[in-house]
Amino acid sequence: TQLLEQSPQFLSIQEGENLTVYCNSSSVFSSLQWYRQEPGEGPVLLVTVVTGGEVKKLKRLTFQFGDARKDSSLHITAAQPGDTGLYLCAGAYNDMRFGAGTRLTVKP
């Protein structure tokens, strides 16, 4: 059983659509991070959320940290083919733990 559960596992959409991916846990985290990973490369940090209820925006990406600091969501508006990749959430526990990821494909 993973400490962080991500859903959906796979998502395939058309360019221009909106989407939301989720990261859930029964544990409380001091902070939560979202990474994007492209094939053949290591993950790269997108954002860190620290405060319960916090919302951060990065261009077309909106990240939210749950009030209880147990869950987070990533919303992408008007997805583009360049958004294709594996999206991973990671929580600061005793060490840094990662979810299994959501593999997003945006078709032109």
Partner 1 sequence: NAGVTQTPKFQVLKTGQSMTLQCAQDMNHEYMSWYRQDPGMGLRLIHYSVGAGITDQGEVPNGYNVSRSTTEDFPLRLLSAAPSQTSVYFCASSYDGKDTQYFGPGTRLTVL
List contacts with partner 1 (CB under 8 A).
2, 4, 6, 9, 30-31, 33, 35, 40-45, 48, 88, 90, 92, 95-101
Our CB check for partner 1 shows the closer of 43 and 66 to be: 43
Q: Give the shortest CB-75-to-partner 1 separation in angstroms.
A: 21
Is residue 14 classed exposed, middle or buried when 0-12, 13-18 and 19+ CB atoms within 10 A define those classes? exposed
Looking up tokens 């939210």 gives 64
Is 45:59 a contact under the CB 8 Å cutoff?
no
Our CB check for partner 1 shows the closer of 66 and 101 to be: 101
